[in-house]
Amino acid sequence: MSGAAADELAALKLETATQEFSDIVTTHRPQIFRFLLASTRDVDLAETLTQECFLKAHRNWSSFRGESSAMTWLMRIAINLQKDHWRNRRMQFWRHTRTNSVDLDEASDWLPSGERTAEQRILAKEQVSHVWRAVKGLSERQRTVFMLRYVEEQELSEIARATGLSEGTVKAHLSRAVGRVRAELGGKR
CB within 8 Å of 57: residues ≥ 6 apart: 21, 24, 64, 73, 74, 77
What distance in Å separates the CA atoms of residue 13 and residue 8, rounded to the nearest whole number? Answer: 9
Among 11, 123, 140, 168, binds another protein (CB under 8 A): 123
**Residue 117 found at the interface with another protein (CB under 8 A):** no
What distance in Å separates the CA atoms of residue 78 and residue 156, rounded to the nearest whole number? Answer: 18
- List the one residue out of 133, 138, 128, 151 whose CA is nearest residue 36: 151
Site map (CB under 8 A) of another protein, residues 78-107, x = contact: --------------x-xx-----------x
Residue (160 or 181) nearer to another protein, CB: 181
Query: Is 8 in contact with 15 (CB distance < 8 Å)?
Result: no
Among 21, 56, 150, 176, binds another protein (CB under 8 A): 150
Binding site for another protein (CB under 8 A): 29-30, 33-34, 37-38, 43-44, 46-48, 92, 94-95, 107-108, 110-113, 123-124, 127-128, 130-132, 150-151, 153, 178, 181-182, 185-189
